[in-house]
Amino acid sequence: MCLAIPVKVKSIHGEEAEVESGGTSYKASIALVPEVKEGDYVLLHAGYAISIIDQQEAEETLRLLREIRVI
Amino acid sequence: MMIGEERILAKNLIQEIFRISSKEINLMEFCGGHTVAILKQGIRQLLPGHVHLLSGPGCPVCVTATGDIDNIIQLSGYRDVITATFGDLIRVPGSKSSLQKSRAEGNDIRVVYSALEALDIARQNPGKRVVMVGIGFETTAPTVAASVLQAEREGIKNYLVHSLHKLTPPVMKALLDSGDVKLDGIICPGHVSTVIGARPYEFIPQNYGIACAITGFEPLDILEGIHMLVRQIESGTPTVEIAYRRAVRPEGNLKALDLMNKVFTVGSAWWRGIGEVPGSGLKLREEYRAFDAATVFQLTPQDAAEPAGCLCGEILRAVKTPLDCPLFRKKCNPEQPVGPCMVSAEGACSAYYLYGESDG
């Protein structure tokens, strides 16, 4: 139920956005993430974007994981 | 399936978990989505034998009480009502029937992916009353709240919501207070937390001394979450950490919370297997009573018996596993589910059925 998938925001028209995932485009509401910009990745749940994916945090997580080395 | 660098990072994380983990611990993954990911990816088999993963109650379809299912079936029988519901709920047996059977009897029941679709159905059917069955946790509740606000803005008067939405932290507290299961750490739900943030879990380490890690659904996310929990437990410093920082901010999604709180207020809710938990549900506020199916159709929560022999209730409380249930894989299977934990794609019984039956 709480499934959400990452999609890319292609264009924004008011509270609605065209988003894309795996080559397929569809419409989504951005009523819950009004600050979203074109080009952002968002998590899409039940037709609504619920969170903007923070690319810097994603890279920081990877950096921290790379610090864990086999001893 | 992990590839390339992901595989190396996962291997390193697993070795680190083995290195720092010294004692027998119970971790609960609250979210059914995590249960599915853990079983599908075989993560239990990658961990030290003394790190136990238990499935929790985070499956909205599973925790919807039989009495509430009976109410929806009754609602679906009204001639001028179109019932809109999220996927799996339609197959959950009530005490006498199911929505699927009600639909076969000629009642208009639609499966929707989004509350926005239900709103569209209302626009297209002005002579009918369209009732969106609002199930789901804090992830879903803001989307349904937004649909109510949109209906209000557009003057759509034949759109109603039957809110059975439930809240995560209050039921975690109820589980911990019951003392039924001894937990050392909780894998907190990633997508619920995009909305509520990290702070609502802080009472768990503070008052119960139990470690918390919010994590995503990729294998690396889950391993990082487990690594955080083991580290907190072994060092004796339980806290709330976020292993899903790309999607979860400590304060959550303020806009989503604002819309959710505008439309809904906190009330009591019935949970399958757990019973009535005060302050664990969302009801429409007085100002939105015209959209409230519970008010308009006078639906009151009621207690109803569980299907005979079904252990779904105990499984949702993590005191039993699907393997303890005499019906599992026999009388109860995905084709003919006895209880909702086998119906829902993220129910523990369905996940055990599909991805193997190892008990970790």
User: CB–CB of A3 and B33 under 8 A?
Assistant: yes
Strands B185-189 and A24-29: unpaired
Beta strand pairing call for B211-215 and B240-242: parallel
Question: What is A5-67's CATH topology?
Answer: SH3 type barrels. (2.30.30)
**B346 and B206 in one domain?**
no
Interface of B with A in 103-162 (CB under 8 A): 113-117, 135-137, 139-140, 142-143, 146, 149-150
Chain B partners within 8 Å of A31 (Cβ): 146, 149-150, 255, 259
Q: How far is B298 from chain A (nearest CA, A)?
A: 27
pTM of the model: 0.95
Same domain, yes or no, for B98 and B199?
yes
Candidate from A2, A46, A53 with C-beta closest to B247: A53
Find the domain containing B212 and state its range.
27-310
- CATH number of the domain to which B52 belongs: 3.40.50.11740
Sorted by sequence, the CB contacts under 8 Å of residue B131 that are 6+ apart come out as B75, B81, B82, B83, B84, B160, B161, B162, B293, B297
B154 in the same domain as B58 = yes
Residue B17 lies in a domain: no
Q: Does any domain span residue B7?
A: no
Token pair recorded at residue A38 = 């074109």
B254 Cβ contact list (under 8 Å, min separation 6): none
From B11, B61, B246, residue closest to A61, measured CB to CB:
B246
* Strand arrangement, sheet containing B51-58: B51-58, B25-31, B185-189, B211-215, B240-242
Strands (E), A1-71: 5-13, 16-21, 24-29, 41-45, 48-52
User: Six-digit token pair at B228?
Assistant: 């955080």
Establish if B300 belongs to a structural domain.
yes
- Which single residue is written with the structure tokens 């499956």? B59
In B, which residues are within 8 Å of A26 by CB distance?
Answer: none
A68 touches chain B (CB under 8 A): yes
Residue A21's DSSP bridge partners are: A24
Would B287 be classed as within a structural domain? Answer: yes
**Yes or no, beta carbons of A53 and B246 under 8 Å apart:** yes
Work out how many domains chain B is built from and give that number.
2
Q: Is residue B95 part of a domain?
A: yes
Q: Is A46 within 8 Å of B114 when comparing Cβ atoms? A: yes
Given CB atoms, is B2 within the 8 Å cutoff of chain A? no
Regarding whether B275 and B173 lie in a shared domain, the answer is: yes
CB spacing of B253 vs A71 below 8 angstroms: no
Closest CA to B153 of B133, B113, B123, B132: B123
Distances from the Cα of A43 to the Cα of B39, B239, B289, angstroms: 23, 26, 31
- Residue B56 contacts A, CB cutoff 8 Å: no
Domain extents in chain A: 5-67
Q: Is B9 an interface residue toward A (CB < 8 Å)?
A: yes
Q: Are B253 and A51 inside 8 Å of each other by CB?
A: yes
Does B224 contact chain A (CB < 8 Å)?
Answer: yes
* Same domain assignment for residues B324 and B247: no
Give the pLDDT of chain B (360 residues) as one tens digit per residue: 567 888 999 999 999 999 999 999 999 999 999 999 999 999 999 999 999 999 999 999 999 999 999 999 999 999 999 999 998 899 998 998 999 999 999 999 999 999 999 999 999 999 999 999 999 999 999 999 999 999 999 999 999 999 999 999 999 999 999 999 999 999 999 999 999 999 999 999 999 999 999 999 999 999 999 999 999 999 999 999 999 999 999 999 999 999 999 999 999 999 998 999 999 999 999 999 999 999 999 998 777 788 889 999 999 999 999 999 999 999 999 999 999 999 998 999 999 999 986 554
| Chain A residues within 8 A of B11 when measuring between CB atoms | 70
Inside any domain, residue B195: yes
